[in-house]
Structure 1
Amino acid sequence: MKYALPDQYKHPLFYPSDCIEVNIQDPKGFSPYYAADLYAFHEGEKPWENLDARISAIQNEWQQLSEKVRPLFEGHPEKTYDDMIMGISLFFTLLYWTNEKHVSVVTWEKDLSGLEVSIMNAHERISFVMKRPAVYFSYIQLDEMFRELAKTSAKFAAIRKRKRGV
């Protein structure tokens, strides 16, 4: 399935500005970057309505990616770049979905101030990882950010369920 690529995904780290469409093989998967969000955006779905399962899927995807990337930093850090970019896209997906929004990687810096669920020092930490994705310390930081956001998002999900009487 080919989908038009809205401007909100056109950050040079993920897609060049002249990219106009993306081919999505698995609408529930995460490849290419933001595939599940892009699919949901075009189909009018709200992936955060089934957030528990989605959080689990994103965390599993990151865990597999993390296990693949970690050993590469010892001898071949240049081979980590694409996987780290995928990891960053997974993090943004988790961050936005937890806040019941579609991803907008182009406006993430502005959006941070309005997000109810986030992490400590989000702007500095995310910026660091995005500027140096193929550096071991970026991997460590991204892994910590995932853990922190997963805990925070689980807490907020439980609060939201109670408020909605689910």
Structure 2
Amino acid sequence: MNLKLPEQYKHTLFYSSQTHEIEVSEDSKFDPYFAADLIALHHDEKPWEALEKWTGLIQEEWNDLSAEMRPLFEGHADQTYDPMVKGLSLFLTLLYWTNEKHVSVLTWEQDIKEFEVSIMNAQERISFVMKRPAVYFSFIQLDEMFRELLKTSAKFSAIRKRKRGI
């Protein structure tokens, strides 16, 4: 299906401001960038209500991407740009969903200041990866950010469940 691409996804790293529509399959989870969030937004769904399921899927996708990229940094770093951008889209999706919000890459710097769940020095670290996605140190940073967010997300998820009596 073709979906209108809302402004909130139009950051130059992911989509140009001229991109008005993208093709997304209902079964698609992570292609194109933010597909799961876009589909959820289109259907007025809240994917964070099934965060544990999505966390596992996002983690699995990152693990696959990470394994694919690791050897490329030894001589073929130019081939890591697209997988790194995809990895960053996965990270931002998990970060937003952990905070029970739809993704907005246009306002992430402001949004992150108000998030209950985040990682240490999130703004500086995300900015670093966004500016240099195909650099090995960005890969290491993104991998570390995923690990931290997954731990923090699990902790907050358990706390929220307890508060809600689930």
Alpha-carbon deviation of 1:27? 3.9
List aligned pairs for 1:10-89, cutoff 5 A: 10-89=10-89
Alpha-carbon deviation of 1:38? 0.2
| Amino acid corresponding to residue 30 of structure 1 in structure 2 | F
| Amino acid corresponding to residue 128 of structure 1 in structure 2 | F
TM-score, normalisation: structure 1: 0.99
Distance 1:49 1:104 in 2: 18
Distance 1:64 1:21 in 2: 28
* Stretches of structure 2 lacking an aligned partner (at least 5 in a row): none
CA contact (8 A) 1:10 1:17 kept: yes
CA contact (8 A) 2:26 2:39 kept: no
The yes-or-no answer on 1:112 pairing with 2:106 is no
Q: How high is the sequence identity, in percent, across the aligned residues?
A: 67
CA contact (8 A) 1:27 1:39 kept: no
Aligned residues: 166
| Amino acid corresponding to residue 37 of structure 2 in structure 1 | D
* Stretches of structure 1 lacking an aligned partner (at least 5 in a row): none
| Amino acid corresponding to residue 8 of structure 1 in structure 2 | Q
How big is each residue's C-alpha offset from its partner over 1:99-122, in whole Å with a ceiling of 9 and x where there is no partner? 000000010000011100000000
Q: Give SS of 2:3's match.
A: strand
TM-score, normalisation: structure 2: 0.99
* Large movers: runs of 4+ above 6 Å: none
Taking only aligned residues, the RMSD between alpha carbons, in angstroms, comes to: 0.7
